Amino acid sequence: MRNAAALVTAAALITGAHAIGKVTRAGRYLYNDDGTRFYIKGIAYQEQGIVVQSAGNDFGEPSSFTDPLSLDNACTRDLPFLKELTVNTLRVYSVDSSLNHDSCMKTFSDAGIYTIIDLALPLNGSIDRIVPSWSTNILNQYIKTIDAFSKYDNVLAFNVGNEVVVNNGTAVAPFVKAAARDVKAYLESKKSNALVGYAAINGAATFRDPLANYLTCDPDGKGSGATAIDLYGLNDYEWCGDSSFQAAYAGTTGDFAGYNVPAYFSEFGCITPGPRLWTEPTALFSSDMSPVWSGGIAFSYFPASSVQGQFGMVNISSDGKTVTTSDDYDKLKDNYSKVTATPNTPSQSAAGSSTYPSCPTANDTFVASTTLPPTPNPAACNCLLSTLSCRFTPSTANYSAVVGSLLDTACSLLGEKGGSCVDIGGNGQTGVYGRLSACDPTIKLSYIMSKYYEANNRNGQACSFGGNGTVNPLAPTTASAADTAASSCVANPSATFVPTAAASSGAGGASATGGGATAGKNGAMTIMSGNALVGMAGMGIITVVSAFWTLA
């Protein structure tokens, strides 16, 4: 075991900072400035947040996080330990775009360390697995994070999701692909070189492999990469003990032999009980795997717990000043240090250009439609809000906690009046999306409240919703006029376009359960982002399987 005092001398030697090289993609590989292959040799870098175990939290996802790239002293404290591990990449699962990251990002850039930034946030800032939506609140949150980090030279990639799509839940995939499309377009509009990534859960090849292909295909069959991710990550825990390439990785590597974009292990490290020997790098960076994989991220630098056990390389003292390393740290350091010469084939000139095949055909195990949700349009949604006769005006500051239940109530009441919530829903299996499916949950709620208010001849009580609704005196005076105004605002609900940074608004919001383990492996301080709020959490009245909400 080592502590911080033992590395004071090492820290002093980390000088002579220089601009970090640019990593570029050619075909299915990554390359350094000098044309040599670049391999991600990384570690997950985020303290785990508060995890509330419940029947609805199968993934053990936390309700809070600490942004590790905003803690200047902690980054300086950890740098010598990261240098001893010889890592060149950190994966960070949740960041707060409102904080300053200059010091940490410069510290790591000067040390030659890149970052992979996940754009999602726990609880309410990601694409929900059960009731998915690609909506203005999530897009705006993603854009704010991109804007906060695009000025740094050591951002390798932005992940649009982590373990969002799982077995028996593949209808959510179109929402992830739509997010990749819009984030990619936004990055290109900013002339950013950052890659667009996704980190997938490992599992049965019957859904894992079609998902990987789906995320890099062209729905139009024209070879375009506009909707494709640039970097595929697989959270892979197949190697345990002193295993071997043939025993642990040969099958998965064979499955990805023909893959069309750079791929890496976005997490690796044994999660079954017993000592973690960390012998994976001997295979991961070898010629057995280099034709397919471009490295990996060891999980995790900070302590993390799950139903499988406790993991982590270091422990931090209660005053945050001292680092004590573990046996895991020493074993990973020993094995990472053996990775001194990585295969350098193919050459950059021989890597070829990127290709994007047609999308896989949907089947019983992979049901995702190739028709994607539209680009969220804040201007259209805000225009619509101005026309609504009954608006959500929460009676509590913690309004994110009531949006889901109020949507349940409003849809149920509207259904009793013969109305429908179809306009706010979306179905990733059929590829049918309501005209307001990309608006944030508060606007969707105001819309359904208004429909119910109109169905009750504008009776004031029909807009109350327990004191959470207010009649809008500036709304059109008749229901037909309101419908005309709404149609004018949302004139092209299926449009796709290059997003722009939106002005801050009081309404944020996203999904209730988070987008998979993105929320499951992040830190522990900020409980709720001001950029997002819970959306349609408890739509128990609505058919969850189809995610398409119609009430008879």
Q: What is the CA radius of gyration of the chain?
A: 24
Residue 62: what pLDDT? 63
Catalytic residue among 163, 188, 238, 280: 163
Question: Would you state the structure tokens that stand for residue 267, as one six-digit string?
Answer: 């997490």
The b/e string for 241-279 (b: 16+ C-beta within 10 A; e otherwise) is eebebeebbeebbeebeebbbbbbbbbbbbeeeeebbbb
Q: What mean pLDDT is predicted for residues 64-84?
A: 96
β partners of residue 268: 236, 298
pLDDT at 56 over 80: no
Rounded-to-10 torsion of CA 59, 62, 68, 69: 80
Q: Among residues 166, 199, 167, which one has the least CA distance to residue 180?
A: 199
d(CA 513, CA 122): 8
d(CA 297, CA 313): 13
Residue 272: what pLDDT? 86
168-206 pLDDT, tens digit per residue, is 999 999 999 999 999 999 999 999 999 999 999 999 999
d(CA 443, CA 384): 8
Q: What mean pLDDT is predicted for residues 81-100?
A: 98
Q: Which of the four pLDDT bands, split at 50, 70 and 90, describes residue 545?
A: very low
Lowest mean pLDDT among 254-268, 302-316, 432-446, 451-465: 302-316
d(CA 468, CA 395): 5
Cα angle for residues 3, 8, 340 (degrees, 5° grid): 85
CB 236 within 8 A of CB 163: no
pLDDT at 304 over 60: yes
Please name the helix (run of DSSP H) or strand (run of DSSP E) that holds residue 76, with its range, or none: helix 72-84
Strands 314-316 and 323-325: antiparallel
d(CA 441, CA 446): 9
pLDDT at 405 over 80: yes
Residue 540: what pLDDT? 27
Residue 468: what pLDDT? 96
d(CA 217, CA 357): 5
Task: Name the DSSP class of 289.
Answer: T
β partners of residue 91: 44, 116
d(CA 97, CA 119): 10
Long-range contacts of 284-290 (CB under 8 A, 24+ apart): 284/249, 285/39, 285/41, 285/339, 285/342, 285/343, 286/245, 286/343, 287/343, 288/245, 288/249, 288/250, 288/253, 289/245, 289/249, 289/253, 290/37, 290/39, 290/342, 290/343, 290/345
What sign results for the dihedral spanned by CA atoms 147, 64, 313, 306?
A: negative
Lowest mean pLDDT among 21-35, 116-130, 183-197, 375-389: 116-130
Residue that the structure tokens 């209808």 belong to: 171
Burial class of residue 470 (count of CB atoms within 10 Å of its CB; 0-12, 13-18, 19+): middle
Question: Would you state the structure tokens that stand for residue 503, as one six-digit string?
Answer: 């002005």
Residue 231 backbone phi and psi in degrees, to 5: -145, 120
Q: Among residues 152, 92, 99, which one has the least CA distance to residue 121?
A: 92
pLDDT at 118 over 70: yes
Cα angle for residues 11, 107, 36 (degrees, 5° grid): 95
pLDDT at 534 over 60: no
Please report which residue ranges of 470-545 form alpha helices under DSSP H.
Answer: 479-489, 517-520
d(CA 367, CA 49): 33
Is 267 considered catalytic here?
yes
Residue 512: what pLDDT? 30
User: How far is C-alpha 411 from the geometric centre of its chain's CA atoms?
Assistant: 29
Q: Among residues 203, 231, 201, 237, which one has the least CA distance to residue 216?
A: 231
Residue type, 187: L
d(CA 316, CA 172): 38
% of the chain exceeding 90 in pLDDT: 77
353-397 pLDDT, tens digit per residue, is 999 999 999 999 999 999 999 999 999 999 999 999 999 999 888
pLDDT at 316 over 80: yes
Residue 397: what pLDDT? 81
Top pLDDT among 218 and 543 is at 218
Is 416 considered catalytic here?
no
Three-class DSSP category at 325 = strand
Residue 48: what pLDDT? 85
Q: What mean pLDDT is predicted for residues 205-210?
A: 96
Q: Could you tell me the CA-to-CA distances from 418 to 140, 407, 411, 464, 548 in Å, in that order? A: 34, 16, 10, 20, 17
Crossing angle, helix 378-387 and helix 136-149, to 10 degrees?
Answer: 140
Residue 61: what pLDDT? 65
